[in-house]
Chains A and B, each alone.
Chain A
Amino acid sequence: MNIFDIMGPVMVGPSSSHTAGAARIGRLTRALLGEVPVRAEILLHGSFSATGRGHGTDRALAAGLLGMTADDPRLPQSLVLAREVGLEVTFGSVTLPHAHPNTAVLTVTGLSGRTVTVTAASLGGGRVQVTRVDDLEVSFSGDLPTLLLRNRDRPGIVAEAAHLLSAHGVNIATLHLRREGRGGLAAMVIESDQPIPEELLQALNTTDGIVSVRYLDPEGGV
C-alpha cells in the first residue's frame, strides 16, 4: 500500500466502504455505459442492503452515476440532483450467492437506449472490484484503462488484438481470456498502462471476429 492508501482519500462521510466505494462503483458504471445515463435500477446485496441508507450508499451510488467523485460535497443531495437532470433511479434488495457483503448490481440505460448491467463490490478504503459486466464474469478495479472485448473463438484473434494495441503504443498490464465453449463466443478483459485512443477503439470494433467492445476510461468523464 502506498502512503496515500493510508492517508486519504478526501471523501464525503461516513464510510470509506459504504460511501466512498459506492460512489466509485456508480462512476465506473457510468464510464462503462459510455454515455449519460437516464435510468438506473440498483439492487443492493448484504451489508449494502442492511445499512446502506444510514451510510448514504444509495446517494453515493447515484452521485457516481451523475459523474461525481467521492469527495464531491453535492453527494448527499444526489437523489434530488438526479431527478433534476432527468436520471430516474430506483433501489431494491437482492441476495447474491457467494458475493462480497458490500455488493451492488446496477442496470443502467443511457440517452441512446444503450444499457449495461454492472456488478461490483466495495472492498474497503474506497477500493472497488467489478465482478460482472452484463453476462460476463470479470475481475478488475477500474484503476487502469480497461477493455472488454467479445470475440468469436477462432485462432489468432488474441494476437490480432494484442498487435493492434502495441501498434498504438498501448502496453498491456493484464489480459484475461474466457470462452463459453470451443468455437463459440469468448471474451478478453485487458487492462492497459495507457489510455485507449479513439482510433484504436474504432480499429478493434471493425476487426473481423470482434463482436463488441466496451471501454472503461478511469480518467474520462462522460
Chain B
Amino acid sequence: MSFNSVESLLDASRDLPLWRAVLEHDCQEEGIPPEQSLSRMDALWQAMKSAVADYDPARHSASGLVGGAAARVESSPHPIVGGFVTQVIAAAMKTGECNACMRRIVAAPTAGASGVLPGVLLPYQSQYHTSDQEMVHALYAAAGFGQVIAARASISGAEGGCQAEVGSASGMAAAALVSLHGGTPEQMAHACAMALKNLLGLVCDPVAGLVEVPCVKRNVAGAMNALACAEMALAGVESAIPCDEVIDAMRSVGALLPDSLRETGRGGLAATPTALRAAQRLRGGAL
C-alpha cells in the first residue's frame, strides 16, 4: 500500500528524511533496489530541465491559441518583480507551452499541470546552486504528498476539476520547496495543505477541450501559489486545517462539481462566446 494519509507519511519520517521514507517505502512495494528508483527519478528531473531548455517561442499549438508567451515575460521591458519570481513565471509557462505544442514534458502529476513543479524547482536550483541529487530528493517529497492526494482524492481533472491537477501539483511543489529549503516534514504538510486550500474549487474548463487555455497560465498560478505557501510554512505559519482533512475536502468538492466543469469543455471559460467561436473554428478541421 502506498501512503494514504499525510499522518502516516509524517510517522514514517520520524527517524529519516521524508524523501527517504517515500523512496524506501516505494522500493519495498515494487521490489526494486533504491538505486534503480533514484536513477528513474533522476531521468524525470533531467527531462524537466530539457523541456524548459528546449523551449522555442516561435512554436504554436494546434489551435494557435498558445505560444511565445514565456519569452514575452522574460523580456518584459518593465517588470514589477523580476528576478527569481519572473523566472518562476517563465519556467512554468515554458513547460506548459511545450506541452501544448506537442514537445516532450514530464506529467507531474498530469500533462496539463506539468509546468508547476519545474516552474519552482528550476529557478530554485539556479538561485541556490543545489545539486541535481538534492533536486531529485525533493521530487520524492513531492511524490509522497502526491500519492496521498491520489489515494484520498484525485489527480485527474475529469474526476476532480483543476484543483485536482494544478491544485495537486501546487501542493506537491510547495512540499518540495520546503524540503529543499531545510524545513521539517510538518512544515511540508502545512505548505501542501495551504497550497491545496488556496486552489480549492478550481474548475476544469479547457477551451475547445484542449490542454491550452486556461491550462498554461494556471500552471503559473500553481507555481506562484506553491512559492508563497512554502515561504509561509518555512516562516512557521500553519494551516488551521490539517493536510489530510484538506485533501478530503478537495475530494468532496470535486464530487460536487458538475460534469460541465470536469474536463468536458462545456462549462466555465469553455462556454464563453470567444471560446465557443474558437471551438467552432477548430471543428472545421476536426477528425
Contacts and interface: CB of A to CB of B under 8 A. Distances in A.
Contact of B209 (A6, A10, A51, A58): A51
B211 interface: yes
Report, as a range, how many residues of chain B touch the other chain. 35 or more
Contacts of A56: 62, 102
B109 A7 contact: yes
A14 B41 contact: no
B108 interface: yes
A6 B104 contact: no
Report, as a range, how many residues of chain A touch the other chain. 35 or more
Nearest to A123: B156
B105 A13 contact: yes
Given A6-B155, A13-B102, A50 B211 contact: no
Nearest to A17: B158
Given A1-B150, A10-B106, 17 more contacts: A1-B2, A3-B22, A5-B150, A7-B41, A7-B142, A7-B146, A8-B107, A11-B107, A13-B111, A14-B99, A14-B111, A51-B208, A53-B286, A54-B286, A55-B209, A56-B62, A125-B109
Interface of A: 1-17, 19-20, 44, 47, 49-59, 71, 73, 75-76, 91-93, 124-126
Interface of B: 2, 22, 26, 29-30, 37, 40-41, 43-44, 47, 61-63, 98-112, 114, 139-140, 142-144, 146-147, 150-151, 155-156, 158, 172, 208-212, 264-265, 282, 285-287
25 contacts: A2-B26, A4-B40, A7-B41, A7-B44, A8-B44, A9-B106, A11-B104, A11-B105, A11-B107, A12-B103, A13-B100, A15-B112, A16-B107, A51-B208, A51-B265, A51-B286, A52-B286, A53-B282, A53-B286, A53-B287, A54-B63, A54-B286, A55-B210, A125-B110, A126-B107
